[in-house]
Structure 1
Amino acid sequence: MKHRYLGNSGLKISEIAYGNWLTHGSQVENDAATACVHAALDAGITTFDTADVYANTVAESVLGEALAGQRRESLEIFTKVYWPTGPKGPNDVGLSRKHIMESINGSLQRLGTDYVDLYQAHRFDTETPLEETMQAFADVVRQGKALYIGVSEWTADQIRAGHALAKDLGVQLISNQPQYSMLWRVIEGEVVPTSAELGVSQIVWSPIAQGVLTGKYKPGEALPEGSRATDAKGGAQMIDRFMNDEVLGAVQQLTPVAAELDLSMAQLAVAWVLQNENVAAAIIGASRPEQVHENVAASGVTIPAELMARIDETLAAVAVTDARKTAENAPAGRPV
């Protein structure tokens, strides 16, 4: 397992991180979740990403229990705050000082740790002054409850404004966590150049496009039983944008590229995002330990320039590249 520096900091993280969105506390039983975490540890993954909203706080508890007994100093544990949690009262959402301060305490208790390595704003809060949010994050760092701060799915302008305030407050905003894959490339036009300028890394989620880039979904064929595209708990909704014959047909054309590199399609997808120098880590999820073992093989892979160009050409008609999509997909106000 290779490690990379996170942003302009001295913190190194595994270039493949384990995340438990849509799995722990909802899709898989706790024993299976623990087995996946232990498989990640065995594979050399040291970085684990979660959020308070995942399974309405249960995912944090499951991850904390799965990591119990591990040497804390050998791990990088990330979590996030923004979306509604708990009974979802008027202050159980957003990036107000009240919600941040209460949320970090709850997250630490559930994770069974005194601090997280990275505390992230899960979305931009349009209803709280950014100064209030960043002051609260700075205080969380000064209290020793988080070592660094990051954001998730912020626009380039939002990242720039947050980074400037963090710098004024003497804390380090070092990461952004966006969706990024061969099929969803909206960060490349604005977010990545701005982040590279500021010393901010990307920790990307959905590098396999919710499983579409594994090639298991084929145009004109029935959906595989038990796949994410059949999951009524939320997985099917997330994957729907890619479930059309044009996209699925283009993905099938990548099979020879993966074969040329002696990679599976999933490994190719994870390795592809790691070719971007601004990406510090690709987050993988798993419902079975063997999925972890397969995906970690993407660490350290170099894809030759000619094959990167072939991938671009193959997916040119179906990849989403519009930088405006980051803002368009952001909540206009606090969700309830």
Structure 2
Amino acid sequence: MKYRKLGSSDLEVSAISLGTWLTTAGGIEKDIAIACVNRAFDLGINFIDTANVYGRGASESVLGEALKDRPRDSYVLATKVYFPMSVEDSGLSREQIAKQIDASLGRLRTDHVDLYQCHRYDENTPLEETMEALTRVVQQGKARYIGFSEWSPQNIRDALAMVPEMEKFVSSQPQYSLLWRRPEKEVIPLCAENGISQIVWSPLAQGMLTGKYSADAPPPADSRAASDEMGGFMDRLMRPEVIAAVDRMKPLAQEAGCTMAQFALAWVLREPNIASAIVGASRPEQLDDNAAAAELAIAPALFEQAEAIATAIPRPQN
């Protein structure tokens, strides 16, 4: 496993990290979820990302159980706040951040997280109030650093303008893959200029870039697309033209001497501003393939061919 510095922080995170929306939020049996966490450590993965809303606290609770006997300095732990935990509890107000960090720490069985992230931007709370609350969390020692997910360039600039009076963000968590390159236009350059690293979610495009799907057959029974609980975001991807494009990428991965999933993860990690690519797992052995991507050196020309294939995919009509 290779490790990368997270923005302007002193955190060193594994290039491949374990996400828990799929793994510990209730989508798989708890003993298998804990086995996935243990396997991640065996592979050198030291960075684990969760959120209070995953399973309405279930993900953090299972993760707390999985981590309870491990030295706290042996892993980097991140969670998030914003989405509704109840009818009354949501957003990034001063009250909510103070309440939700304590609830998360209780479920995680720890006195601090290494990274506390705004899961989205809160249009209903003044940014200054949010930044004051996050700064307070760091001052109290409940989080070492702060980050955000899916903020606009202007949101990011507004927060940076409050430094040094407020705590500075060290991470951004956008969706990013061969099939979704939107952050390249503004977010990645802006963050790179300001000591903010990317922690990428869905680098395998909800599993589409593993190459497991076929236009001529139903999704594999154990796949995300076949799951009522986990497959809700697959409609945009489960199109014949997308599946055909991934099929055209497979020979490129073969030429590189790796699996399609490894190829897609290595493509994400080619970008210097990416600190880590988040992967999920429903079985421990899935992590073996993904973790190996951190060590790959693939010819840029193969990546360029894959990019050309992805760029040529027709957009959905609706």
TM-score of the superposed pair, with normalisation by structure 1: 0.91
Alpha-carbon displacement from aligned partner over 1:209-233 (angstroms, at most 9, x marks no partner)? 1110011111232222231111111
Shift of 1:170: 4.7
Shift of 1:23: 3.0
Identity, in percent, stands at 50
Alignment of 1:186-205 (within 5 A): 186-205=182-201
Structure 2: runs of 5 or more not aligned: none
Aligned length: 315
Which residue number in structure 2 is paired with residue 24 of structure 1? 24
Question: Kindly tell me: are residues 319 and 10 of structure 1, through their superposed partners in 2, closer, same or farther at Cα, counting changes over 3 Å?
Answer: farther
Aligned 8 A contact 2:23 2:36 in 1: no
Shift of 1:157: 1.1
Which residue number in structure 2 is paired with residue 4 of structure 1? 4
Pairing 1:93–2:90 present: yes
Which residue number in structure 2 is paired with residue 209 of structure 1? 205
Does the residue aligned with 1:260 lie in a helix, a strand or coil?
Answer: helix
The one of 78, 99, 102 equivalent to 2:99 is 102
Alpha-carbon displacement from aligned partner over 1:102-151 (angstroms, at most 9, x marks no partner)? 00000001101110000000000000000000000000000000000000
Aligned 8 A contact 2:22 2:282 in 1: no
Determine the C-alpha separation between the residues in 2 that align with 1:143 and 1:172: 15
Does the residue aligned with 1:237 lie in a helix, a strand or coil?
Answer: coil
What letter matches 2:69 in structure 1? G
Alignment of 1:5-154 (within 5 A): 5-85=5-85, 88-90=86-88, 92-154=89-151
The one of 222, 229, 235 equivalent to 2:225 is 229
Aligned-residue CA RMSD in angstroms? 1.2
Shift of 1:250: 0.5
Structure 1: runs of 5 or more not aligned: 321-336
Does the residue aligned with 1:242 lie in a helix, a strand or coil?
Answer: coil
What letter matches 1:25 in structure 2? A
Does the residue aligned with 2:183 lie in a helix, a strand or coil?
Answer: coil
Aligned 8 A contact 1:22 1:55 in 2: no
Shift of 1:9: 2.2
Which residue number in structure 1 is paired with residue 179 of structure 2? 183
Aligned 8 A contact 1:185 1:319 in 2: no
TM-score of the superposed pair, with normalisation by structure 2: 0.96
Determine the C-alpha separation between the residues in 2 that align with 1:126 and 1:95: 9
Shift of 1:313: 1.3
Shift of 1:89: 2.8
The one of 278, 283, 288 equivalent to 1:288 is 283
Does the residue aligned with 2:275 lie in a helix, a strand or coil?
Answer: strand
Aligned 8 A contact 2:131 2:166 in 1: no
Which residue number in structure 2 is paired with residue 274 of structure 1? 269
The one of 139, 159, 163 equivalent to 1:162 is 159
Determine the C-alpha separation between the residues in 1 that align with 2:61 and 2:168: 27
Aligned 8 A contact 1:123 1:154 in 2: yes
Determine the C-alpha separation between the residues in 2 that align with 1:318 and 1:191: 23
Does the residue aligned with 1:37 lie in a helix, a strand or coil?
Answer: helix
Which residue number in structure 2 is paired with residue 326 of structure 1? none
Aligned 8 A contact 1:181 1:208 in 2: yes
